[in-house]
Structure 1
Amino acid sequence: MIVVHHLENSRSQRVLWLLEELGVSYEVHRYSRDPATLEAPPELRRIHPLGKSPLLEDEGQIWAESGAIVEYLADRYGRGRLWPAEDGPQRQQLRYWLHYAEGSLMPLLLLRLVFDRVRKAPAPWLVRPVIRGVDDKVSRAFISPQLDLHLDYLESHLGRSTWFGGDSFSAADIQMSFPLEAAAARGGLESSRHPRLDAFLVAIHQRPAYQRALQRGGPYAYA
């Protein structure tokens, strides 16, 4: 039996969704974040030394990293659904989005989250202007322009195909969901400027398998 070590409000929601799309049986071991730090609990380190989520157990092996898990599950259980059965240009295209989601887009969103937290964190009043100044400079000079560049790129891509991997829904769309949900929640993704990305989020949230995954995983804050 597949076991998903599922941390609330995390990337592991995508793994539950993929398993629901594939119709594969699995168990969920749920973990809660520390209410003060929002960090994962130490119990996850018993499964993997880094103590991160998602973690997946299958056939005696531990899988970490959401992109690797998504590819493994789609390749192992997809039987040509959501992931090409044979290697070739289409599989390479889908694999690109698996890596792009975490390697290119997500770091920018994490930077925005970190700087937002630093800006809001308690600090002596003499230091606050310095913190705000650094935050404003980094956001205006790097984070916001780069986010705009990437979101415009994705908006343009969806102007050429219905889904990220082409005209059919695939594992690539599941992988891309988390950073786009984060962009919509944290700012940067604007419906007026990115209507195709906004429509993409509406479409995936309406999928029955997505809804079933929410029921299995519990409440999910997209940010």
Structure 2
Amino acid sequence: MVGSLKGGASVRKYGSVVVVLMAIGAFALGSCSSGDGDSAASSTTDKPTTTVSREAAASATDVAAVCDQANPGQDLHGCDLTNADLTYRDLTGANLTGANLTGAHLENATLTDADLTDATLTGATLTGLRSGGIIGTPTVLPSGYQITSGYLIGAGVNLTGTNLTDFNLTGVNLSGADLHNANLTTLNFTDAILTGADLGGTTLSGVIWSNTT
């Protein structure tokens, strides 16, 4: 009887120890889970800040890169291209809306189908420039230049092979312009200046030459 009591007491003591150990273990696990949760929450909170910073930096880089890359179809609207060297650049279909091209070097460049709405070209050099299909009207063009039916017309421009049938180019200065193989049928050259222009291979049927020099 005494042995049974002692055995029962031992079992109860052992059971109490187990219960205590289980309680300690549960507490420890709870603390770890809480710590991991806090860490995860902190990590989750920190990520948006990092992401936003990277996106802002990327955006700033993209803006700078766009204005430095003058290529066909490029979006260059609002870019400051003052005195930029765009010699021989192909800007076909480029968006130059509101761009500042003051003093830009556009010698032998191509502006076919480009959008020049509100662009500023004060003092730009346009010798050898190819055009056609130009969209919009620039705020300012270099002195002596104009846009007629999508073509930038003026001294030294490249109009090789273009169809200028029925164009009215009265008083236009096309000195040094390249009109080789152009179709000038019934074009009006009244008071125009063609000194040094290349008219080789042009079609001149019905051209009005009144006071042309």
TM-score (structure 1 length as normaliser): 0.21
Rg larger for: 2
| Higher relative strand content | 1
TM-score (structure 2 length as normaliser): 0.22
| Higher relative helix content | 1
The structure with higher relative contact order (CA 8 Å, sep 6+) is: 1
